[in-house]
Structure 1
Amino acid sequence: MAEEAEEKPRITVIAYSRDDFLSRKVSSMKEVLEIEGYDVVWANVDTVEAVPEIMEALNIHDRPMKVLRRASTHARVFVFPDYLFLILHQVYEIDGGLKRERIGLLLKDNLVVTVQEIQGDVFDPIRESIREGEGLFRERGADYLLFALLEAIVENYVPIIERISSKMESLEAQILSKGEKGVLHRIHGLRREILFMRRTIFPLLEAFRKLELEGERFFTEETQSYMGELHDHVLEVLEILEGQRELANSLVELYYSTISMKTNDIIRILTVVSTIFIPLTFITGLYGMNFRYMPELYWRYGYPASLLAMLAIAMGMLAYFRKKGWI
């Protein structure tokens, strides 16, 4: 019996009113529904394997739950006569990359249910505020809690985007100072992360718009004023991402421009060296023909004079190139 209990999905319940608070772990949704006497009940489920049990206990439609269990789903909002169901994505940085996790949020009467793929989320500040009685949570209903959960998910995108910006600034400095080959690979990696974040966040615009228009009856007038801020916040995040995408593209152009400039510098130096050696090669070739009647061949100072002449030509050409600003 103990092994069967351990296999059941872990459900964490937080129930609260203005002056009361309850936090406990239960093993089934039936236990959640038995909790009474609180204004708001929040059940957090750590696995999507509990979906069938949630459907049966709450008597909800199977369509949103099927969508939640699909790995390729994007942000969605389902509005039914007596409840709301939303599907969003939490994003985490893992092993230098980004990972996306589906999360379902259900609002029905005074009950909020969050269903996650794995244990761990971005809601700890909300739990702490409810526990300590901070903010408006104890004074508002379940609709305000749903808004706060949505806002926490969107807010979590911001530090990830800021770290991407910081990485791009660092890469820009490396390009200007060194222009290493590995920099281009890292730029393309950041571009993939930006596209990953954009694909995750962009569907939220339509989802929050639908929530604001069709889910109006599920929110009090006070909470409705906050819902518009969610849509605006997503727009701001997308604008930041668009700026980062343009910056990433400009970094690629800057990288190639830097490489091109360095290549031009190398070619210019090689051209100068080659140009200096043209007259020197001519002189050595001329006297390397070894014709019998070349008067300088039997001159005592012919060899040092030739060397001095070639040195003078080389120095003169170097001075001329420097004056022209070519080196």
Structure 2
Amino acid sequence: MQKSINKLRILTPEKFQAEYPHIFKRNFGEIALNRVHFCKAECLRQAVTGTFAIPRKTKLTGDKITFGYCIAEEQLIFIENQDHIKIEMKKVREYQDEERTSPLLLLFDWMEYLIKDDMLFLQDYEEKLSHLEEELLEGNMEDFDRKILLSRKELSVLSAYYEQLSDMGETLQQNAARHQTEQEALLFGLFCEKAGRLYDMVQTLKEYSMQLREMHQTQIDIRQNEIMKVLTIVTTLFMPLTLIAGWYGMNFAHMPELTAPGGYGIICVVCLLLIAVEIWIFKKKGWFK
């Protein structure tokens, strides 16, 4: 294990720039580590460099954990301003107790550690969407739009993250194959497949979230249709009564019904009969279901 530790260094950007000015200028000179937005790997003649931008699982849409790395002179060098790597590498050594003599394999251990529990995390996320679906079916749609929008943003972050890790694994696999290091090429190939499966899982969750959104929209449409049906029934019920009221409201001089002794009662009976006939027709057509 001591050999593995000797293969690993953690430097600040300033120290790395002082020791490796050409590599820093070529790969890190135009960006600040706190403005890194994606994971990548670049294979140069004498070095392998890249960056990590890791979403925080406690807040996927928040600030990412960002840092750079470089493999040069048979050493894996992490470049960061904070102590995140120093803390996490202790956990990596506990997770991977096999001694590594290659800096590229140390990088593999780190990348493997990053995704070791992610399938469980995605399964928990699927359970979260299932609870959201249950709430939707129970009619509890309070803040649903906000919740589903947040889920889609989080899944988009994870989708990009796993796609980038898969691309990194492929790049490092090709680099190992060029240098004829069979073990490293095999391991990074396996990592690429794992990241690809995680990416596919996220795509499935994104489709699930889209289905929930469509289900929510369908429920809104059904409610709107119910409201429109009620308004249509009310309007249809009172339209003949409105016609009668307007007719007799014209107050022409020669309207016999206005002076007939039982005119008012007859009109009331006619109106009630009209309402009864309309209600019967509506029930027959199933409008009250």
- Where relative contact order (Cα < 8 A, 6+ residues apart) is larger, the structure is 2
| Alpha-carbon spacing, 1:68–1:151, altered in 2? closer, same or farther (3 Å) | farther
Per the alignment, do residues 167 and 116 of structure 1 end up closer, same or farther by CA in structure 2, a change over 3 Å counting? farther
User: In the alignment, does 2:74 pair up with 1:114?
Assistant: no
Counterpart selection for 2:13 from 32, 37, 51: 51
Deviation at 1:127, TM superposition (A): 2.5
* Structure 1 residue 276 displacement after superposition: 0.8
Question: Alignment RMSD, CA only?
Answer: 3.8
Deviates more, 1:225-234 or 1:159-168: 159-168
- Is the CA contact 1:77–1:87 (under 8 Å) kept in the aligned structure 2? yes
Instruction: Compare the two structures and name the one with the higher strand fraction.
Output: 1
Aligned residue pairs, count: 285
- Which of these residues, 8, 27, 30, is aligned with residue 64 of structure 1? 27
* Distance verdict in 2 for CA 1:123–1:65, change over 3 Å: same
Note if contact 1:90-1:101 (Cα within 8 Å) is conserved in structure 2: yes
- For residues 226-264 of structure 1, what are the alpha-carbon distances to aligned partners after superposition, in whole Å with 9 as ceiling and x for unaligned? 221210011112212322333344444434333333222
Query: Once the two structures are superposed, what CA deviation does each residue of 1:196-247 show, in whole Å capped at 9, x if it has no partner?
Result: 3333332333321120111348896545432212100111122123223333
- Opposite residue 32 of structure 2, the aligned amino acid is R
Letter in 2 for 1:85: T
1:323 corresponds to: 284
> Cα deviations across residues 78-131 of structure 1 (Å, max 9, x unaligned)?
33556533422211146673332223234457744333354436974x624735
TM-score between both structures, scaled by the size of structure 1: 0.69
| Structure 2 equivalent of residue 206 of structure 1 | 167
1:145 to 82, 98, 106: 106
Is 1:307 the counterpart of 2:268? The answer is yes
CA distance in 2 between counterparts of 1:130 and 1:205 reads: 23
* Residue of structure 1 equivalent to 2:245: 284
Q: Does 1:41 align with 2:6?
A: yes
Q: SS of the counterpart of 2:54?
A: strand
**Residue 97 (structure 1) aligned with residue 57 (structure 2):** no
TM-superposition CA deviations, 1:46-91 (whole Å, max 9, x none): xx7x123135457872223436635245322233556533422211
Aligned in 2, Cα 1:204/1:145: closer, same or farther, shift over 3 Å?
same
TM score, norm. by length of structure 2: 0.76
What SS class does the counterpart of residue 92 from structure 1 fall into? Answer: coil
**Alignment partners' CA distance in 1, 2:163 and 2:101:** 28
Gaps of 5+ in 1: 1-15, 18-37
What's the CA shift for 1:42? 6.5
Compute the displacement of 1:149 (Å). Answer: 0.8
Letter of the structure 1 residue corresponding to residue 23 of structure 2 = H
Query: For 1:124-163, what aligned pairs fall within 5 Å after superposition?
Result: 124=88, 127-128=90-91, 130=93, 136-142=96-102, 143-155=104-116, 158=119, 161-162=122-123
Asked if the contact 1:101–1:117 (Cα under 8 Å) also holds between the matched residues in 2, the reply is no
Query: Taking structure 1 as reference, are residues 246 and 150 closer, same or farther at Cα in structure 2, changes over 3 Å only?
Result: same
**Residue 235 in structure 1 maps to residue 188 in structure 2:** no
In 2, distance between residues paired with 1:219 and 1:116? 31
Q: Does the 8 Å contact 1:43/1:112 carry over to 2?
A: yes
Q: Distance in 1 between matches of 2:171 and 2:245?
A: 85
Q: Is the 8 A contact 2:4 2:99 kept in 1?
A: no
Q: Gaps spanning 5+ residues in structure 2: where?
A: none
The alignment partner of 2:41 has SS state of: strand
